[in-house]
């Protein structure tokens, strides 16, 4: 016979067949103070959004994302053109937060980035960008005139 310890995990009941957690109904007779605080937070959020006339589907999505029922993926800024250029130039880049948007029909978080460097370095960097852009414009104009 299997060890009972193998079929429980922090109060979770596991299937004897698959070993997966079995979902059990919420026991309303054993609501904790923390459960009540969570319910109050949800009710307060819904109430505030209803007062602002936010559509029901947006309210639902906010609750789903705020409580991590569904994770919204973060775009990988290290695959971006900006990151590659900034890294190549030695700029320090860090994330400061994100905004949410829809890309290709899917909700994503787009990171808000901050970059830092000494002012003299940044001035030289901008000068280099402008020089490269000017050179590119000259190259493009010369190829069009042929």
DSSP 80: S
- Tokens coding 37: 């605080």
- Tokens coding 42: 């949800």
Kindly report, residue by residue over 36-79, the tens digit of the pLDDT: 999 999 999 999 999 999 899 889 888 988 888 888 889 999 99
What does 23-75 look like in DSSP terms, one character per residue? P----GGG--HHHHHHHHHHHHHHHHHHHTT--HHHHHHHHHHHTTSSPPPBP
User: Would you say the pTM of this structure is higher than 0.85?
Assistant: no
- Tokens coding 3: 């060890």
Question: What is the reported pLDDT for 5?
Answer: 46
Question: What is the reported pLDDT for 32?
Answer: 93
Question: What is the reported pLDDT for 4?
Answer: 45
Kindly report, residue by residue over 19-35, the tens digit of the pLDDT: 888 877 788 888 999 99
Pairwise CA distance, residues 126 & 119, whole Å = 10
Pairwise CA distance, residues 58 & 63, whole Å = 9
- Span 79-95, mean pLDDT? 88
Question: What is the reported pLDDT for 146?
Answer: 61
Mean pLDDT of the chain, nearest integer: 84
DSSP 3: -
Greater confidence (4 vs 18) lies with 18
90: left (phi over 0), alpha (psi -120 to 50) or beta: left
Greater confidence (138 vs 12) lies with 138
- Span 88-110, mean pLDDT? 87
* Lowest-pLDDT choice from 4-18, 84-98, 119-133: 4-18
Give the H/E segment covering residue 8.
Answer: strand 8-9
Percent of the chain whose predicted confidence (pLDDT) is above 70: 90
């Amino acid at each position: 016979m299997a060890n009972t310890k193998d079929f429980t995990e922090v109060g979770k009941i596991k299937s004897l067949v698959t070993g997966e957690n079995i979902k059990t109904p919420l026991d309303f007779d054993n609501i904790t103070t923390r459960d009540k605080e969570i319910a109050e937070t949800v009710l307060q959020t819904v109430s505030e959004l209803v007062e602002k006339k936010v559509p029901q589907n947006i309210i639902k999505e906010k609750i789903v994302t705020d409580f991590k029922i569904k994770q919204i993926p973060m775009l990988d800024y290290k695959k971006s053109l900006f990151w590659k250029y900034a890294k190549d130039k030695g700029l320090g880049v860090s994330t400061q937060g994100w905004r949410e948007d829809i890309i290709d029909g899917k909700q994503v978080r787009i990171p808000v980035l901050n970059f830092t460097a000494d002012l003299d370095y940044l001035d030289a960097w901008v000068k280099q960008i402008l020089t490269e852009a000017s050179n590119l414009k000259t190259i493009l104009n010369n190829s069009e005139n042929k």
